[in-house]
Every structure is written in C-alpha cells, then in structure tokens.
Amino acid sequence: MQIKKPEPFTFEAGPRAVLLLHGFTGHSADVRMIGRYLETKGYTSHAPIYRGHGSTPEDLLTASPEDWWEDVQQAYEHLQNLGYKEIAVAGLSLGGVLGLKLANCYNVKALVTMCSPMFFDNRTQLTIGFEQFARQYKQLERKDEATIEREVRELLDKSKTLFTDMKHFTDDISKEIDMVYAPILIVQARKDAMINPLSANYIYDHIASYDKTLKWYEESGHAITFDKEKDKLHEDIYSFLEAQDWEQ
C-alpha cells in the first residue's frame, strides 16, 4: 500500500511570521492547527518537515540532529526570503529544542517551547515512542504481524546511534540557553509521559530572557497540540505573540 507523504506548509496572512516546528517522528501536521488558527488572526506561518520525517521509519534513521538543525535554519531563511523581517518560532518537543538553538543563533522575535526536553533521561520513553511509530507505519503498509515484529526489532537495534546523537545534541543546547534573550512562552503538559516535565522549569530558570512565562496545562499529555486543551493553547500563543513589540 502506498502511503501519502505529508508536506510542509506556508499560510500567508500578514506581515508577522511564525516558524512552526514539529516533534521527533512527527511532521507538519503536529503544528497545522496552530498555523490555521494564527492565519485567522493575521499571522503568516511556515512549517518544514525535517529530513527523515514524514516518511518511513527506515528513512528517519538515515538522518541526524545536525541535519534537522540545517533544515530549521533553511526554513527560517525561507521566511526571510519571502520578505518577512520579524519571525517568531514555536516548536513542539524536539521542535522547541531546535527553536532554542535558533533563538541563540538568529534574531528571533519571540519563542514558544511546547513540552520540550532539556534532559535526555527519557531513552526508554523515546524507544517506546519510536517503536509505536514504526509499528503503526508498517501496519499501514499492511504487512503481516511476523514481518512487522522482525522489521521493528531490526529498527530498534539500528536506532541506538541516533538516540545517542540526540542526547549529545540536547545536552549541548541545554548548556547554551543562558545566552538566549528572546521573549519566551514555555508550555508544559502536566500529564506528559514522554519527557521529564521538569525540563520546563529548567528552561525557565536558566534562560536569559527577561520576558519569560511558564504555563502548565493540567489536562494535556505530550502531544499537546492535539489534546483537549489545544484551543486554550492556541489562544495563549496568540496572546503571547500580540504582547510583543512588532514593527508592523
């Protein structure tokens, strides 16, 4: 069975732009509802898909965090090339980690992190998440159970190098956030079972930003952009963006 691959999106609606970044194993659908909501409020948004994502589990293992970092820089520059001079960034999970690095290297207008890890103490959870993704993908391919079990085991064996690279990448960024001064909204789901929720406190305590807010969402899990408090999340992001000193 052929599976239709997701695509990046750009919703142009006004002079203020927001770069939307998805999570690990995810793709642009992670942040599409935020993009559509912001579009109704006059904000332009763009969401890339990192290398290896939006495709097969095998493809995901061919990419690296450094590839994803290059992809995010290219996405930021894509908005600049379209003529947008002021660009905010909002990222889910891994997307928030990449957003923190972007805010350290570029003149980001404002930053929203959503359930973004700062400690790599979730190797077990990450492995479970990757296994679920791989298994679901192969079920969509309509493979038999024996084939699925064999291929998923092979993928898990091959994933160790990538997870080690992700640990080093996350550790390096966590040590650099004291050089990030962009205004920030730190979003964390209380029922997040994928990452250590104390990552949100770490970001709040260590980031150099003077304008910083930590918001907890009591009824949501890690995939907060799809969860029951998503409407509140949309409104909070919009209010945060509106509070910034935009030129236009």
**CATH number (domain holding residue 187):** 3.40.50.1820
Q: Is residue 131 part of a domain?
A: no
Q: Is residue 248 part of a domain?
A: no
What integer pLDDT is reported at residue 4 of this predicted model?
Answer: 78
Catalytic entry in 192, 199, 209, 234: 192
Q: Is residue 157 part of a domain?
A: no
What integer pLDDT is reported at residue 129 of this predicted model?
Answer: 86
Q: Is 93 a catalytic residue?
A: yes
Q: Which residue's structure tokens are 């930053």?
A: 111
Beta bridge partners of 11: 45
Query: What dihedral do alpha carbons 237, 239, 245, 248 form, nearest 10°?
Result: 90
Per-residue pLDDT tens digits for 97-151:
999 999 999 999 999 999 999 987 767 888 888 999 999 999 988 999 999 999 9
Is residue 69 within 8 Å of 102, Cβ to Cβ? no
Q: Burial, 127: exposed, middle or buried (Cβ in 10 Å; 0-12, 13-18, 19+)? A: middle
Q: Is residue 128 part of a domain?
A: no
Beta bridge partners of 43: 16
Q: Hey, how many other C-beta atoms are within 10 angstroms of the C-beta on 36?
A: 14
Helix, strand, coil % in the chain, rounded to nearest 5: 45, 15, 40
Q: Burial, 236: exposed, middle or buried (Cβ in 10 Å; 0-12, 13-18, 19+)? A: middle
Q: Is residue 152 part of a domain?
A: no
Q: Is residue 160 part of a domain?
A: no
Query: How many domains is the chain partitioned into structurally?
Result: 1
Catalytic entry in 22, 27, 30, 93: 93
Q: Where are the beta strands (DSSP E) in 34-126?
A: 43-47, 87-92, 111-114
Per-residue pLDDT tens digits for 171-204:
999 999 999 999 999 999 999 999 999 999 999 9
Q: Is residue 176 part of a domain?
A: yes
What integer pLDDT is reported at residue 100 of this predicted model?
Answer: 98
Q: Is residue 141 part of a domain?
A: no
Q: Is 165 a catalytic residue?
A: no
Q: Is 121 a catalytic residue?
A: no
Domain boundaries, position 83? 9-119+171-242
